[in-house]
A and B are shown apart, each in its own frame.
Chain A
Amino acid sequence: MSARPPRSPAAVPFPAAHQPIRHDSAPLHVAGTARYVDDMPEPPGLLHVALGQSAKAHARILSMDLSAVRAYPGVVAVLTSVDIPGVNDVGPVVADDPIFAENLVEYVGQSLFAVAATTRIAARAAARLAKVTYEELPAVISIADARAADSHILPPKRVERGDPLGTLSTSPHRMSGHLAMGGQDHFYLEGQISMAIPGEDGDMHILCSTQHPSEVQHLVARALGRPDNHVVVEVRRMGGGFGGKETQASLFAAVAALVADRTGRPAKLRLDRDDDMVMTGKRHDFEVAYDVGFDADGRILALDMTLESRCGMSTDLSGAINDRTIFHADNCYYLPHIRITSYRYKTHTVSNTAFRGFGGPQGMLAIEGVVDDIAHHLGLDPLAVRRVNLYGGPGRDLTPYGMKVEDFIADSLLDRLSTTAQYQARRTAIAAFNAASPVLKRGIALTPVKFGISFTTSFLNQAGALIQVYTDGSVLLNHGGTEMGQGLYTKVAQVVADVFGIGLDRVRITSTRTDKVPNTSATAASAGADLNGMASFNAARAIRDRLSAFIAARWGVEPTALSFAHSKVTAGDHAMAFDDLVRQAYLARVSLSATGFYATPKIDVDKETLIGRPFYYFAYGAAVSEVVIDTLTGETKLLAVDILHDCGSSLNPVLDRGQVEGAYVQGMGWLTMEELVFDAGGRLRTHAPSTYKIPGCGDIPDHFKVDLLNQPNLEDTIHRSKAVGEPPFMLAISAYHAIKAAVAAAGGSGPVKLNAPATPERVLMAVRARQSGAGA
Chain B
Amino acid sequence: MADCVRFVHQGQVVTLSDVPPTRTVLDYLREDRGRRGTKEGCNEGDCGACTIVLGTRVGVLGMAEAESIQYRAVNACILFVTALDGKELVTVEDLSSSDGTLHPIQQAMVDHHGSQCGFCTPGFLMSLFALYHTDANPDRTRIDAALAGNLCRCTGYRPIVDAARAMGRAPDTYTAQMTETLALLSSIGRSETLSHHGGAAFAPATSDQLADLLLAHPNATIVAGGTDVGLWVTKQMRDLGTIIHIGGIRDLAAITHANGQITIGAAATVTDAAEILAPLYPDLGDLFRRYGSEQVRNSATLGGNIANGSPIGDSMPALIALGATLVLRRGGVTREMPLEDFFLDYRKTALQPGEFVAAIRVPEPSADRLFACYKISKRFDQDISAIMAGFGLTLSDGIVTEARLAFGGMAGTPRRAGTAEATLIGRPFDAAAAKAAAAALPQDFQPLTDMRASAEYRLVAAGNLILKWQMEQALPPTATRVPAFARAIGGAA
A interface residue numbers (CB < 8 A to B): 1-2, 4-7, 9, 22-23, 25-36, 38-39, 41, 121, 124-125, 128, 186-191, 237-242, 272-274, 426, 429, 433, 436-440, 442, 484-487, 626, 628-630, 632-640, 654-655, 657-658, 661-666, 673, 675, 677, 685-686, 688-691, 693-704, 759-761, 764-765, 768
> Is B344 among interface residues, defined by CB-CB distance under 8 A?
no
Contact A5 B100 (CB under 8 A): yes
B250 at interface (Cβ–Cβ under 8 A)?
Answer: no
Nearest Cβ in chain A — how far from B129, in angstroms?
Answer: 11
A662 touches B115 (CB 8 A): no
B206 CB to closest chain A CB, in angstroms? Answer: 34
CB < 8 Å: which of A189, A238, A639, A703 contacts B152? A189
Contacts beyond the supplied A239-B120, A654-B113, A689-B47: 13 A-B pairs with Cβ under 8 Å: A30-B95, A30-B102, A31-B93, A41-B34, A440-B482, A626-B489, A658-B155, A658-B159, A673-B378, A673-B379, A689-B44, A696-B379, A701-B487
Q: Is the CB of B117 within 8 A of A32?
A: no
B352 proximal to A (CB < 8 A)? no
Interface contact B155-A696, CB-CB below 8 Å: no
- Given the complex, which residues of A lie within 8 Å of B95, measured CB to CB? 30-31
Provide the bound-state CA to CA distance between A429 and B493, in Å. 12
User: How far, in whole Å, are A658 and B152 apart by their CA atoms in the complex?
Assistant: 12
What's the Cα separation between A188 and B154 when bound, in Å? Answer: 8
With the chains together, A689 CA to B453 CA distance in Å? 16
Q: Are A128 and B461 closer than 8 Å at their CB atoms? A: no
- The contact sample of 20 A-B pairs, CB cut-off 8 A, is A1-B37, A2-B94, A30-B106, A31-B96, A32-B93, A32-B125, A188-B119, A237-B118, A241-B117, A273-B42, A429-B490, A433-B493, A439-B471, A635-B482, A639-B486, A662-B116, A689-B151, A693-B377, A700-B156, A702-B488
Instruction: Report the separation of the CA atoms of residues A663 and B93 in the bound assembly, to the nearest whole angstrom.
Output: 30
In Å, the complex CA distance between A486 and B118 comes to: 10
- The reply to whether A702 and B102 form a contact with Cβ atoms under 8 Å apart is no
**Residue picked from A654, A655, A666, A760, most chain B C-beta under 10 Å:** A760
**How distant is the Cα of A704 from the Cα of B158 in the complex, in angstroms?**
8
Considering the complex, give the chain A residue whose CB is closest to the CB of B379. A693
- Interface pair B115/A26, CB less than 8 Å apart: yes
Q: Is the CB of B148 within 8 A of A697?
A: yes
Q: Is B481 an interface residue (CB 8 A)?
A: yes
Instruction: Let me know if A662 and B156 touch, CB within 8 A.
Output: yes
Residues of A within 8 A of B484 (CB): 698
Q: Which residues of B contact A2 (CB under 8 A)?
A: 93-94, 96
Contacts of A274 in B (CB 8 A): 235
Closest to B41 in A: A189
Complex CA gap A187/B490 in Å reads: 32
**Chain B residue with Cβ nearest A757:** B378
> Given A9-B110, A240-B117, A640-B486, A32–B92 Cβ distance below 8 Å?
yes
Given contacts A6-B102, A26-B113, A31-B95, contact A440 B235 (CB under 8 A): no
Please determine whether B492 and A628 come into contact, CB atoms closer than 8 angstroms.
yes
Interface flag for B483 (CB, 8 Å): yes
Task: For residue A58, give the distance in angstroms from its CB to the closest CB of chain B.
Answer: 22
Query: Nearest 5 CB-CB pairs, A to B?
Result: A32-B37, A485-B117, A239-B119, A29-B118, A665-B156
B379 and A30 within 8 A (CB): no
Q: Is the CB of B379 within 8 A of A128?
A: no
**Do residues A36 and B384 form an inter-chain contact, with CB atoms below 8 A?**
no
Query: Are the C-beta atoms of A629 and B93 separated by less than 8 Å?
Result: no
In the complex, are the beta carbons of B461 and A632 less than 8 A apart?
Answer: yes
A733 to chain B, nearest CB (A): 16
| B105 (CB) vs chain A CBs: closest residue | A30
**B465 at the binding interface (Cβ < 8 Å):** yes
Binding site for A on B (CB under 8 A): 30, 33-44, 46-47, 49, 91-96, 98-102, 106, 109-111, 113, 115-122, 125, 140, 143-145, 147-148, 150-161, 235, 237, 374, 376-384, 386, 450-454, 457, 460-461, 464-465, 467-468, 471, 478-490, 492-493
**Residue among B43, B94, B457 making CB contact with A764, cutoff 8 Å:** B457
Beta-carbon contact of B110 and A30 below 8 Å: yes
Question: How many Cβ-Cβ contacts under 8 Å join chain A to chain B?
Answer: 319
Q: From B96, which residue of chain A is reached at the shortest CB distance?
A: A31
Residue ID in chain B nearest A272 by CB atoms: B43
Residues from chain A with a CB closer than 8 A to the CB of B44 are: 273, 688-690
Name B113's contact: one of A22, A33, A121, A691 (CB within 8 Å): A22
Residue of B43, B109, B158, B451 with most partner-chain A CB within 10 A: B158
Interface centre among B41, B98, B118, B121 (most CB of A within 10 A): B118
CB atoms of B96 and A6 under 8 A apart: yes
Q: Are B91 and A701 in contact (CB under 8 A)?
A: no
CB pair B161–A700 under 8 Å, yes or no, is yes
Q: A27 with B116: in contact, given A239-B39, A629-B482 (CB under 8 Å)?
A: no
Given A30-B102, A442-B493, A698-B380; A239-B118 close (CB under 8 Å): yes
Are B37 and A661 within 8 A (Cβ)? Answer: no
Among B122, B153, B464, B484, max chain A CB count under 10 A is at B153
Report A-chain residues with C-beta under 8 Å of the C-beta of B465: 632-633
Across the interface, which residues of A come within 8 angstroms of B450, CB to CB? 685
- B464 & A632 in contact (Cβ 8 Å cutoff): yes
Q: In the complex, how many angstroms separate the beta carbon of B223 from the nearest chain A beta carbon?
A: 19
Contact of B488 among A31, A655, A703 (CB under 8 A): A703
Task: For B492, list chain A residues within 8 Å (CB).
Answer: 628, 637, 639
Contact A698 B121 (CB under 8 A): no
How long is the Cα–Cα vector from A41 to B34 in the complex, in angstroms? 8
A39 CA to B29 CA in the complex, in Å?
12
Q: Which residue of B lies closest to A762 (CB)?
A: B457
Closest A residue to B92 by beta carbon equals: A32
Q: Which residues of B contact A655 (CB under 8 A)?
A: 113
In the bound assembly, the distance between CA atoms of A369 and B151 in angstroms comes to 30
Interface centre among B37, B49, B374, B454 (most CB of A within 10 A): B37
B262 to chain A minimum Cβ distance, whole angstroms, is 28
Docked Cα-Cα span, A686 to B49, in Å, equals: 20
Q: Which residues of A sit under 8 angstroms from B102, Cβ to Cβ?
A: 6-7, 27, 30-31
Q: How far is the CA of A190 from the CA of B158 in the complex (A)?
A: 21
Q: Decide if A636 touches B482 in the complex (CB within 8 Å).
A: yes
Q: How far is the CA of A704 from the CA of B481 in the complex (A)?
A: 22
A439's partner among B47, B99, B468, B489 (CB-CB below 8 A) is B468
The distance in angstroms between the C-alpha atoms of A98 and B132, with both chains bound, is 50
Q: Which residues of B contact A634 (CB under 8 A)?
A: 457, 461
Q: Is the CB of A661 within 8 A of B381?
A: no
User: Which of B94, B379, B381, B453 has the most C-beta atoms of chain A within 10 angstroms of its own C-beta?
Assistant: B379
The CA of A125 and the CA of B239, in the complex, are separated in Å by 11
When distances are taken between beta carbons in the complex, the residues of chain A under 8 Å from B39 are 36, 189-190, 239
- In the complex, the answer to whether A666 meets B153 with C-beta atoms within 8 Å is yes
Given contacts A6-B100, A31-B95, contact A628 B144 (CB under 8 A): no
Cβ of B229 to closest chain A Cβ, rounded Å: 15
Best-buried of A23, A124, A632 by chain B (most CB within 10 Å): A632
Known: A654-B113, A685-B450. Contact between A485 and B379, CB under 8 A?
A: no
Q: What is the CB-to-nearest-CB distance from A324 to chain B, in angstroms, rounded to a whole number?
A: 22
Contact B155 A632 (CB under 8 A): no
Instruction: Decide: B384 and A690 in contact? CB cutoff 8 A.
Output: yes
Give bound CA distance, A689 to B295, whole Å: 15
Q: Are B464 and A633 in contact (CB under 8 A)?
A: yes
B118, A439: Cβ atoms closer than 8 Å: no
Q: Which of B38, B378, B487 contacts A759 (CB 8 A)?
A: B378
Interface centre among B110, B460, B471 (most CB of A within 10 A): B110
Please name all residues of chain B whose beta carbon is closer than 8 Å to the beta carbon of A28 when the two chains form the complex: 118
Q: Is the CB of A440 within 8 A of B480?
A: yes
Residue of B nearest to A6 (CB): B100
Q: Which residues of B contact A677 (CB under 8 A)?
A: 451
In the assembled complex, the Cα of A698 lies from the Cα of B484 at a distance in Å of 7
- Bound CA span A704–B160, Å: 13
Residue pair B140, A702 in contact (C-beta under 8 Å): yes
Q: How far is the CB of A509 from chain B (nearest CB, A)?
A: 14
A675 touches B378 (CB 8 A): yes
Complex Cα distance, B233 from A349, in Å, reads: 28
Contact of B119 among A190, A633, A685 (CB under 8 A): A190
A41 to B31, CA, bound (A): 10
